[in-house]
């Protein structure tokens, strides 16, 4: 397991980061720290692989706290202030997440950390690939957290800055963009067929011209995705 802590004075930031990281089963949250002094005390007697670090905190700012550590873990900065990026580079920060950030962007940051400090029994790509082995994950929609079983997904449709998940018995609007689901779901079971659509391969009823039929739904095939579709029946 790859261990991490969250250092941020905003409870909502903790909730968002923990929600995203819960979708990555090789990550284990060790501690919620709501200020730098609390994090300092924890790290004096515990070891973690990396931490999410906010910069604008009371008592001791994020980078000032980082300078006090003689052997700091890898750091993913989470902040609303992009002007500190250069200072973070000088402190060997692994990545810099500008609030508000998406699930997809957090995954990239985590993979950057894993790529620079990987336990001997962990493949750097496992954070992305292994999470699909559980075939379930949580998404936020309508101020609730819905547990999704991937086998229930028929297809996914982009919906502005949101995404519609069409399941066997319901449709849920997610706060994530379609690109986040493309990164999350197994490419063996799901295929992007249009800039606005991802389909479950085992739910395809038939392919007719430039359309895919799933139940009573007709999903368009994008011009740039036709080669991928043709491989399904020409292989």
104-146 residue pLDDT tens: 889 889 988 887 544 434 443 444 433 434 467 777 777 777 8
Rounded to an integer, what distance in angstroms lies between the CA atom of residue 55 and that of residue 62?
A: 4
More confident site: 92 or 208: 208
- Domain boundaries 135-234, corresponding CATH code: 2.40.50.1020
- Mean pLDDT, range 170-186, rounded to an integer: 85
Cβ neighbours of residue 7 under 8 Å, at least 6 residues apart?
A: 33, 35, 36, 38, 39, 51, 52, 53, 54, 57, 62, 65
Domain residue spans in the chain?
A: 2-129, 135-234
Domains 2-129 and 135-234 share a fold: no
Task: Identify the pLDDT of residue 15.
Answer: 93
CATH of 2-129, one of 3.90.420.10, 3.40.50.2300, 3.40.50.460, 3.20.20.70: 3.40.50.2300
Contact 54, 62 (CB under 8 A): yes
Mean per-residue pLDDT over the chain, rounded: 84
Distance of CA 28 to the CA centre of its chain: 14
- The least confident of 23-37, 47-61, 177-191 is 177-191
Any long-range contacts for 79-83 (C-beta under 8 Å, 24+ apart)?
Answer: 79/54, 79/55, 80/56, 81/55, 81/56
Task: Identify the pLDDT of residue 90.
Answer: 65
- Mean pLDDT, range 167-175, rounded to an integer: 90
Task: Identify the band that residue 159 occupies on the pLDDT scale cut at 50, 70 and 90.
Answer: very high
Task: Identify the pLDDT of residue 133.
Answer: 42
Task: Identify the pLDDT of residue 24.
Answer: 86
What angle, 0 to 180 degrees and rounded to 10, lies between the N-to-C axes of helices 103-116 and 11-21? 70
DSSP letters spanning 122-165 = --TTHHHHGGGGG-EEEEEETTEEEEEEGGGEEEEEEETTEEEE
* Residue 156 pLDDT > 50: yes
pTM: 0.53
- The least confident of 21-30, 115-124, 156-165, 222-231 is 115-124
18-52 residue pLDDT tens: 999 998 878 999 999 999 999 999 999 999 999 99
CA atoms within 13 A on the CB side of 234: 6
Rounded to an integer, what distance in angstroms lies between the CA atom of residue 92 and that of residue 54?
A: 15
Rounded to an integer, what distance in angstroms lies between the CA atom of residue 164 and that of residue 156?
A: 6
Task: Identify the pLDDT of residue 121.
Answer: 40
Can you read off the two tokens belonging to residue 121? 């029994």
User: What is the share, in percent, of the chain residues with pLDDT greater than 70?
Assistant: 87
Task: Identify the pLDDT of residue 197.
Answer: 97
Residue 204 φ/ψ, nearest 5 degrees: -70, 125
Cβ neighbours of residue 50 under 8 Å, at least 6 residues apart?
A: 2, 4, 73, 74, 75, 76, 94, 113, 117
Rounded to an integer, what distance in angstroms lies between the CA atom of residue 24 and that of residue 5?
A: 15
């Amino acid at each position: 397991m790859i261990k991490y802590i969250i250092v941020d004075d905003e409870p909502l930031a903790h909730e968002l980061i923990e929600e995203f990281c819960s979708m990555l089963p090789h990550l284990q949250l060790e501690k919620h720290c709501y200020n730098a002094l609390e994090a300092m005390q924890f790290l004096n007697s515990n070891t973690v692989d990396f931490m999410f670090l906010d910069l604008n905190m009371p008592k001791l700012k994020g980078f000032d706290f980082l300078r006090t550590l003689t052997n700091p873990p890898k750091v993913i900065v989470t902040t609303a202030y992009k002007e500190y990026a250069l200072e973070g580079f000088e402190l060997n920060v692994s990545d810099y997440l500008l609030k508000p950030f998406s699930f997809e962007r957090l995954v990239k940051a985590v993979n950057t950390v894993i790529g620079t400090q990987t336990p001997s029994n962990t493949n750097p790509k496992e954070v992305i690939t292994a999470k699909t082995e559980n075939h379930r994950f949580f998404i936020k929609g309508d101020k609730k957290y819905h547990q999704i079983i991937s086998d229930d997904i028929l297809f996914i449709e982009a919906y502005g800055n949101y995404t519609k998940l069409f399941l066997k018995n319901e449709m849920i609007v997610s706060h994530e963009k379609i690109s986040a689901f493309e990164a999350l779901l197994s490419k063996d079971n799901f295929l992007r067929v249009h800039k606005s659509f991802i389909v479950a391969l085992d739910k395809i009823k038939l392919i007719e011209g430039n359309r895919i039929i799933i139940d009573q739904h007709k999903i368009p095939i994008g011009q740039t995705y036709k080669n991928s579709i043709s491989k399904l029946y020409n292989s």
